Chain A
Amino acid sequence: MRFSDQFEQRFAEMLTHYPTKRSVLVPTLLYAQDETGYLSDEVIEELASRLELTALDVRNVISYYSMLTTKPRGKYNVQVCTNIACMLRGGEELLQHCEKKLGIGHKGTTPDGLFSLEEVECIGGCSWAPAAQVNYDFHENLTTEKMDRVLEGYAKKVTA
């Protein structure tokens, strides 16, 4: 199992921040997921052995956090917020629109592996509701038309 040099650098540095190794597990999982797309059995075993934990311990932590996944996801993970502010401003319609447009449901992935869809809790974009997050990018004050353009933009990124 090989990670990028940047990952290794971050990992080594994080270890110095805490009294016990296991404390770095959560950020490490996130960085690993950013690199590999999802937390495969191989990644879990590797991190477990590095941090002197059991694979079960690592899985327990992963299962606690909804942003960590053990299943492959699309290249772009579309997260539509339906918490109260977004819901009042049409977040649920936005989600339904995305479902229809992409042809997938909550936690689904398009057959071409380009998009995944997720209904998420508050992402902190209440002032500009409804909001959605694609990977780490925020898109605010969305309408169904605006959402279409956002999705097309990502689709183009790949073909370009």
Chain B
Amino acid sequence: MAMHRTFSRTLLGGLVMAALALPVPAMAQRDPAYQAARAAGQIGEKTDGYLGVVGNQPPEIGRIASDINIRRRENYAQKAQEQGVTLQEYAIAQGCILISRTAPGEKYQAPDGSWQTRGSGPPQLDPRCPRA
């Protein structure tokens, strides 16, 4: 009985540890207005690693995208320096993964520059991007 309880406790502990180790989905951490604009297809992921406004949108949407782009650029500059690559190279590498991780219904930029809606299948990726 005691041994059984110990086993249960160990199992429970293991499950909690596993849950903590799982990556938290990025959307849970996003600003609600930004998340809503993504889901509505007003803001999309570009191949250059930055956000773009899809079509004509209210100025507020442009401000949301521009605000995050400024923070992304700052982040890319720091990471690029750490990795010994150019800012543009880091940004493009980040763009590959960000487009791979778009949710169905969100917009992303195809290699030809056109906006596409992410379906259930894989997105159209630049041939330089690593296959997910």
Do the two chains belong together in a single complex? no
Interface residues in chain A, defined as those with a beta carbon under 8 Å from any beta carbon in chain B: none
